[in-house]
Amino acid sequence: DSGVTQTPKHLITATGQRVTLRCSPRSGDLSVYWYQQSLDQGLQFLIQYYNGEERAKGNILERFSAQQFPDLHSELNLSSLELGDSALYFCASSVAGETSSYNEQFFGPGTRLTVL
């Protein structure tokens, strides 16, 4: 158990809908990262937050957004869903921000999103 929790575990929805994925980082970790894992694209970094502020942005679509709240939990919002958004979405946390490149990330168990 990494100490990172994600809800829900599974989500099935229809095209055009909007969903919210939730992540609680390990106690004491200030950074939260979101990743998308699909068979054809592998593991893609989406976005990072550090202590409530956006720190780095990767391959995140404009239809997707995220935020980190004062209690440090984070939510990833996916809207106008398409079939191609079906994937595993992982959250990870780490102690420090982007300047500590040697810090490991602790991954949650993931949310499997299926868009029908």
Interface positions with another protein (CB under 8 A): 2, 4, 33, 42-43, 45, 48, 55-56, 58, 90, 92, 98-99, 101-102, 104-110
- Judged by beta carbon, residue 56 or residue 79, the one nearer another protein is 56
Q: Please enumerate, as own/partner, the contacts of 48-51 that have beta carbons within 8 Å and a separation of 24 or more.
A: 48/98, 49/74, 50/97, 50/98, 51/97
Yes or no: say if 114 and 9 are a contact pair by the CB < 8 Å rule. Answer: no
- Judged by beta carbon, residue 19 or residue 46, the one nearer another protein is 46
- Judged by beta carbon, residue 16 or residue 84, the one nearer another protein is 84
Q: How far is the CB of 15 from another protein (least distance, A)?
A: 26
